């Protein structure tokens, strides 16, 4: 039996994600098969590139309904980078695009100007510290063993903006801004950073997602 299913839709950093799963000692399967996605035990949606293209790739393969069917099972679902952004209702990247609607809210551009009018470097590429938005927010989550202030690796120009602040799992500091770095709602988790490229702290998150029984609905 496969421990973790990774959605293959030609828009993800598959090699690094799969290598991180292997380092956790768990088996994985790359697939675009709707039935395998629906019946997975744990599901990962990676993603790099543009929101609209990624959504179109999921549509083309008939994967929207299977993803929703999987989420309804209550089993753990993780979106990484663009995969996290796809969890939202919509995105403003290069036009208006519909998301998966699993996290109420939208994806918008990181402001390119600071309050004083000077330019902010976009995209955000590099290491940023993440912290919980409130005390104890990380308990019983994939970040429960992560130290507040741990540095994670980001590559993005757009950021998720949840309607419900309670869906924010972690925030990151970048050039005077506090950005949503991770979200969670029920069994749906999303991280804007790349845990598979974030050294020990990132690999610990992957390990927690693929191994922890605490994430599995009873």
- Mean pLDDT score of the chain, rounded to an integer? 94
Catalytic positions, please?
81, 194, 196
Tell me what the mean pLDDT of segment 55-84 comes to: 97
Tell me what the mean pLDDT of segment 87-112 comes to: 96
Beta-bridge mates of residue 180: 171
pLDDT above 80: residue 16: yes
Q: What confidence score (pLDDT) does residue 218 get?
A: 33
Query: Both tokens of residue 62?
Result: 């008939």
Question: What residues does each domain of the chain span?
Answer: 4-215
Architecture of domain 4-215: 3-Layer(aba) Sandwich (3.40)
Query: 212 pLDDT band (50/70/90 cuts)?
Result: confident
The SS3 call for residue 182 is: strand
Buried b (16+ CB within 10 A) or exposed e, 97-130: bebbebbebbbeebeeeeeeeeeeebebeeebbb
Name the pTM for this structure.
Answer: 0.95
Q: What confidence score (pLDDT) does residue 12 get?
A: 74
């Amino acid at each position: 039996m496969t421990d973790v299913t990774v959605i293959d839709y030609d828009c993800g950093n598959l090699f690094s994600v799969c290598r991180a799963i292997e380092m956790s000692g768990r088996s994985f399967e790359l697939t675009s098969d709707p039935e395998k996605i629906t019946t997975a035990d744990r599901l990962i949606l990676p993603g790099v590139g543009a929101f609209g293209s990624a959504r179109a790739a999921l549509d083309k393969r008939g994967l929207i309904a299977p993803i929703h069917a999987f989420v309804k099972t209550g089993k753990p679902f993780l979106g990484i980078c663009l995969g996290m952004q796809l969890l939202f209702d919509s995105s403003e990247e290069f036009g208006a695009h519909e998301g998966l609607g699993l996290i109420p809210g939208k994806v918008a551009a990181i402001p390119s100007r600071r309050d004083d009018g000077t330019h902010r470097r976009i995209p955000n590429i590099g290491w940023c510290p993440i912290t919980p938005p409130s005390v104890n927010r990380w308990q019983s989550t994939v970040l429960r063993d992560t130290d507040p202030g741990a540095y994670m690796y980001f590559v993005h120009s757009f950021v998720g903006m949840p309607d419900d602040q309670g869906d924010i799992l972690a925030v990151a500091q970048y050039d005077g801004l506090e950005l949503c770095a991770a979200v969670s709602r029920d069994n749906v988790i999303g991280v804007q950073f790349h845990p598979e490229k974030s050294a020990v702290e990132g690999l610990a998150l992957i390990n927690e997602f693929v191994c922890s029984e605490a994430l599995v609905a009873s």
